[in-house]
Amino acid sequence: MYKVVIVDDEPSIREGLRTIVGWEDYGFEVVGAAANGNEALALHQTLSPDLMIVDIRMPGMDGLQLIERLRTMDSQVHFLILTGYADFEYAKKSLSLHVDGYLLKPVDEDELAEYLQLLIEKLTKEKVAETELRNWKRELFIHNLLEFPHQMQSDDAEAEAEPLGLLWKAYQVVMLKLLNPDENPETTLLFKRKLSEHFDQKGKGLVFYNGPYLGILLKDVIKYEQGLKAISTEIAGIAKSGDFQFYGAASDVVYRLQEVGHACESALQLVRLAFFYEKSAIISKDSIPLTAPGAAAVGRNEEEERNSPDERLYYALDIGSRDAVLSAVEELCLAAADEMSEQTAKDRAFHWINDALNKLLAARPELKSELQAMTPLARGIYEQTNFVEMQTYIRKLLLDLLQLADSGSNDNIVKQMIHLINRNYQDNLKLESLAEVFNYNSAYLGKLFKHQTGEFFNTYVDKVRIEKAKELILQGIKIYNVAERVGYTNVDYFHSKFKKYVGCSPSAYRKSTVDEDGLG
């Protein structure tokens, strides 16, 4: 409600104006009445009215003199002049005092109502403009505080903050980042406006833009975990009204204006990690992350470390095991999150998946169409706004691939291992790695393999490699190239293995076979 003071030396007119219209219906409230200019000046000081209805003819100080005095003190107050017909020409002199209108006595209800309708529109626009200007000045002050902290000396900063209503006992900064704002600045501005309505207009804080983030300088600082949950709920409620989603982080409480910049930076560092936390919740440095980056490396021995996440994922896809894929995805995502960086996590996950798909394509060319369709879909990783969403997206993507490729097999575990070895003999195949993929104990899996094939796992792998090496040797390929192509990085070691299973060196095998063919 806008406040009205009536000034007239006649009690009947003062009382009549109080009841002539329903002031509240027009957005006004009569808060006082004065019988002369001096009383009016006193009421103005105590009540700060938005509108004063002033009689032009009063004993002592007349209406124009009163208005002239008030204008030196308040440029915002509005005036309607009460005048008789005989004084109308005299009343026109008030034009230079920016009077809003003239009411002829006796006052007509419709005429007064018409003025009130015009004034409520004008006052509302002025109030909005005044609020926007004040908020702009407050936000500019915060930007200067953040960008030029050393130039804002303590006394100067406090002197500038006081008229802006920013001289508080304590400060805390909450930084927010909108998720998927559709690259439309209007989306961020709309969210900022809604936050301002809640925090600025209710005196709870100041909302400011620090692209691409939104900040809230809190006057009512958060205390303990309950306070963090409360502010999360508050902001989430505001976001829900516009279907916004966000990351958010709160700084520690500081007690000096000069420390606000450090508080802002600490909140920004946290909000950049918020990808690994729950969405639309405010985190602090004491929050427990949703994931445990670094956990993927815990407990791995050196042997297991040789197999990268894309290799483990590839083996899981190659054997068509749903459980193995799910296990590999979880490990891959945790490994991708090791550095606690959203971009790095997404980059690593994408490249590992892409590498696994390329390896699968090389081993299973019959899946070409399915795999080519998956590659662009894998880029959808970058559109995920939360670590759990990314993990869920990858999980669904790869399980869909298994279904499309119909790569699941009813073969028993050992047959699947044999197929995998025959396709991937050149890789650094380890029983421990496959046991992890198949979710078996490695000792048990080794015994199972030996029981069904009659060979130890490593022996079987060596024999497959040597058989392939024999084919390559007869194609005239150089021995060291053959060794590399069948999975032996050490040529001497390849020689010893070849001699063990064939009974002669690779070069002797080539010579004897060529001689035999020549004799034949």
Which tens digit of pLDDT belongs to each residue from 136-191? 888 888 888 887 766 566 667 788 888 888 889 899 999 998 876 555 667 888 88
State how far the Cα of 173 lies from the Cα of 67, in Å rounded to an integer: 45
Stretch(es) of the chain classified as CATH 3.30.70.270: 163-283
The predicted pLDDT at position 320 comes to 79
Structure tokens at 339: 């550095």
| Homologous superfamily of domain range 455-520 | Homeodomain-like (1.10.10.60)
Structure tokens at 56: 């032009």
Residue 11: half-sphere exposure toward Cβ, Cα within 13 Å: 0
Query: Nearest-5° angle of CA 69, CA 73, CA 79?
Result: 65
Query: Residue 73, Cα to own-chain centre: how many angstroms?
Result: 48
The answer to whether 309 and 331 have CB atoms below 8 angstroms apart is: yes
* Helices 387-405 + 342-363 axis angle, to 10: 10
CA-nearest of 329, 308, 313, 322 to 391 is: 329
Question: What are the residues facing 248 on neighbouring strands?
Answer: 176, 282
Stretch(es) of the chain classified as CATH 1.10.10.60: 455-520
Three-state SS string over 249-292 comes to EECCCECCHHHHHHHHHHHHHHHCCHHHCCCCCEECCCCCCCCC
- State the CB neighbour count (10 A cutoff) for residue 76: 10
* Residue 297 burial class via C-beta count within 10 angstroms: exposed 0-12, middle 13-18, buried 19 and up: exposed
State how far the Cα of 467 lies from the Cα of 225, in Å rounded to an integer: 65
Domain 163-283 = CATH 3.40.50.720: no
Residue 299 neighbours by CB under 8 Å, 6+ apart: none
The predicted pLDDT at position 86 comes to 62
Residue 347 is inside which H or E element, if any? helix 342-363
For the domain made up of 2-107, the CATH class stated in words is: alpha beta
Q: How does DSSP classify residue 108? A: P
Stretch(es) of the chain classified as CATH 3.40.50.2300: 2-107
The predicted pLDDT at position 512 comes to 86
Residue 442 is inside which H or E element, if any? helix 442-453
The predicted pLDDT at position 227 comes to 82
Which pTM value belongs to this model? 0.56
Structure tokens at 44: 């103005």
Residue 231 is inside which H or E element, if any? helix 224-241
The answer to whether 52 and 76 have CB atoms below 8 angstroms apart is: no
Q: How does DSSP classify residue 106? A: S
The predicted pLDDT at position 67 comes to 92
- DSSP SS3 for 107: coil
State how far the Cα of 165 lies from the Cα of 508, in Å rounded to an integer: 93
The predicted pLDDT at position 517 comes to 56
Structure tokens at 151: 């130039």
Flag residues of the chain having pLDDT under 50: 292-306, 407-410, 519-520
The predicted pLDDT at position 461 comes to 94
